[in-house]
Amino acid sequence: MEKKETVLVTGGSGFIACYCIITLLNNGYKVKATFRSLKKAELVKEMLKEGGITSFEDISFTEADLQNEASWDKAAEGCQYVMHTASPTPNTDAKTEDDFVIPAKNGVLFVLRAAKKAGVKRVVLTSAFGAVSYGTLKDTPYTEEDWTVLNDTVFPYQRSKTISEKAAWEFIQSEGESMELSVVNPTTVMGPVLSTDYAHSIQIIRQMMNGEMKGCPKLITGYVDVRDVANLHFRALTMPEANGQRFIAVAGEALSMLDVAKILRRNLGDVAHKVPTKELPSWVIRLLSVFNPKIKMIVPHLGLVKKASNEKTKALLHWKPRSAEEAIVTAAESLFKFNQI
């Protein structure tokens, strides 16, 4: 029998990473997942079970840290492919830009160097729509040809994603040799959570459903289901035409936060009675941000329209995403399941 190929999935406890692991295992690959601490292993097993995985014989766990280069050589050993989903995520503790940018950029380079040493064939990097659409204004949808322009309006998270993705492409060009790279740039990720430990993007739904969000900020962006993001990672890993390409993951039309609220009310009935019904003026959000660091994080995005195109992803990789509506509704339903609302 042919030996199964092994994929290293970094940041193995993440929302996208768990679904990538599920997709790989379901398609007959072995997975080696990395965590900063192996204490996460049991939680991840529970999340994988929730996602339908019943056997753990094809998955192993190893410790590796984005700030410790030496840890990656051991992690990449024996792997034919890498999905690099690990990255510092937005949080209010990041005091300086370096808290995001340095670990993100160094982490990418540590993983790529270790992958090259291990003879990895292809790396799929999880970047973000934040590396595509910031620092610029466009009426037409953003495409894979667009890059974030690093000016004063760009927040540290988007800056870190842009700088780390550019570093990855430069590495492949200058010293990657035969190793291949594909990049996935997801918009706002929704879909069913697998535990009480879930992505920051899902907080929007929780805050709407439990009445924390009294009115909707004026934000317009694309949405995508986490299951489709994982499927896109798999296609980016396995399809020859994905080599050397970046792919935006978006379900379709851009939605305002008020559109998202309307979707929740329309689909969930009485349980969505606390969901806001009005859009808040941007000056109100700016005022509130003085007292609330979480609100402060959205201020630079107020009033921006961030449309994204999935034409290339559909045409080149035959990707067929679920609707944004399904992604949003299943996110809310799963939060009920875990008593988060």
Task: Report the catalytic residues.
Answer: 161
Task: Please report how many Cα atoms fall inside a 13 Å half-sphere around the Cα of residue 272, on the Cβ side.
Answer: 19
Q: Which residues pair with 28 in a beta bridge?
A: none
| Distance (Å, whole) CA 250 – CA 307 | 9
The C-alpha atoms of residue 46 and residue 235 are separated, in whole angstroms, by: 26
Task: Give the residue among 112, 115, 201 at the shortest CA–CA distance from 165.
Answer: 112
Which residues have a Cβ under 8 Å from the Cβ of 6 and sit 6 or more positions away? 29, 30, 31, 32, 78, 79, 80, 81
Q: Residue 19 is which amino acid?
A: Y
3-state secondary structure of 132: coil
Nearest to 305 by CA among 260, 248, 251, 254: 254
Amino acid of residue 193: V
The CA-to-CA distance between both ends of the chain, in Å, stands at 48
Q: Which two tokens stand for residue 68?
A: 């410790």
| Residue carrying structure tokens 């630079």 | 300
Q: DSSP secondary structure string, 160-228?
A: HHHHHHHHHHHHHHHH-TT-EEEEEEE-EEES--SSS---GGGHHHHHHHTT---SB-S-EE-EEEHHH
Contact in structure between 85 and 55 (CB atoms under 8 Å): no
Q: Distance between alpha carbon 35 and the CA centroid of its chain, in Å?
A: 16
How far is 64 from 71, CA to CA, in rounded Å? Answer: 5
Q: State the Cα angle at 122 between 119 and 125, rounded to 5°.
A: 125
